[in-house]
Amino acid sequence: MRVFFGICMAVVTIACGSGKKAEMDESNSAETENKEDSILVKQDFTAEFTISKQTQLVIDTSIRQSYRGMHVLSPNVTWISGMNGVVGITRDGGENWKINRVPACDDCDFRDIAALNDSTALAVSIASPGYIYKTSDFGTNWELVYENTDSSVFMDAIEFWDDQNGLVFGDPVDDKVFLLKTSDGGDNWERVDHIAVPKAMGTAGFAASGTSIALGDNGKAWIGLGGAHSFVLKSEDYGVQWKVHETPMPQGSEGRGVYSVAFLNDQIGVAAGGNWEKELSDSCVSYTKDGGLSWTLVKGDSPNGYRSCVAVGGESCEALSPFFVTCGTSGVDLSLDNGQTWERVDSTSLNVIEFAPNTGIGWGADSWGNVYRVEVKFQ
């Protein structure tokens, strides 16, 4: 793995085969130290991870700009969203970024964004009131397509199965998980039948990266919850009916639980989270091999502490093996065996990370307006 951050460069190679040791050779600098780590892997290849700070995207330098929403549509097109009503897009792989504020929405906190194509996206503002805005011209103009003034509404994430059918997930209202559905590309939204949604049972969602929803083929969906219990909800009919599945993730307080879920296919997935109130205190990653019916907690030194996001890459690319990457305030970790073992690859603090479909090319963003280009290569 090769890590670039500022003027510092680290080279890390994970030799994949029979539990070989991962050797790290780092350049001499004030910010890096020579060290070795080990990882048990099964495949016979070498993985290389790179991260580079691309730019700082801010409109007003006197105001802190945090980004938590992201959709990497392709290696060229990426949308981001965050505080202060700010939404951004690159259409040339990060060479240029266009950022602006959604009109009359300076106080909006867009914790997630979903792109339907290069020009069309929907951004979700979390609460007080909760808004969904849509653009069809690369973010130049925005239309308010949903508004909810209920003081209990707090919308965490938005995802689409295709360019028509989508889902918004939010914290419980009247002790029921808040879910919205659309079947017309986000122009209209309706709340999922109250009776069909499980009781919250002291749980809520997390809007740390807009990745508490994962969608799969043929209407499958998974949602991560935390608080009194750490659950994953699963639907197999485009969000109409849901079942509750327990996880071994941290639970028992407001800050603990499942913050993010990602699935490679209908069976293999990873849940990430922990406890943002005590970032280094809890094991934070679990994996499933049966579509989310049961989960196994990852134990060991990595990942270490709270993780706000997990992403999958290389799903069906011949040049890549599938991989998972998780990130949080204390760094970035990589798994080459479907989430069972992990290797720490960088110490950069990120809120969110995502890869273009079927590639190892992606982006990350933090709480200070910075965006980072990331890439995983296999040799």
Helix (H, G, I), strand (E, B) or coil at 239: coil
Q: What is the pLDDT of residue 315?
A: 76
CATH of the domain at 294: 2.130.10.10
One-letter amino acid at 209 equals S
| pLDDT, one tens digit for every residue, the chain (379 residues) | 333 222 222 333 333 332 222 222 333 333 323 323 323 233 455 788 999 988 999 988 888 999 999 999 999 999 999 999 999 999 999 999 999 999 999 999 999 999 999 999 999 999 879 999 999 999 999 999 999 999 999 999 999 999 999 999 999 988 888 999 999 999 999 999 776 677 788 898 999 999 999 999 999 999 999 999 999 999 999 999 999 999 999 898 888 999 999 999 999 999 999 887 777 666 689 999 999 999 999 987 778 789 999 999 987 666 668 999 999 999 999 999 999 999 999 999 999 999 999 999 999 999 999 999 999 988 7
Q: What is the pLDDT of residue 300?
A: 78
Q: What is the pLDDT of residue 277?
A: 73
Q: What DSSP character marks residue 173?
A: E
217: phi then psi, degrees, rounded to nearest 5 = -70, 155
Question: What pTM, to 2 d.p., does this model score?
Answer: 0.87
Structure token pair of residue 107: 């106080």
The whole-angstrom separation of Cα 206 and Cα 150 is: 18
Q: What is the pLDDT of residue 299?
A: 86
Is residue 97 within 8 A of residue 86, CB to CB? The reply is no
CA angle 374, 141, 136 (to 5 degrees): 65
Domain that holds residue 218: 2-378
4: buried, middle or exposed (CB in 10 Å: 19+, 13-18, 0-12)? middle
172 prior amide bond cis, ω within 30: no
- In the sheet where 285-288 sits, what is the strand order? 203-204, 226-227, 256-263, 269-275, 285-288, 296-297
354: phi then psi, degrees, rounded to nearest 5 = -155, 150
Q: What DSSP character marks residue 196?
A: G
Structure token pair of residue 374: 């990331």
Q: What is the pLDDT of residue 312?
A: 97
35: buried, middle or exposed (CB in 10 Å: 19+, 13-18, 0-12)? exposed
Count of structural domains, the chain: 1
Compute CA distances 338 → 173, 235, 246, 286, 316, whole Å.
34, 22, 20, 10, 14
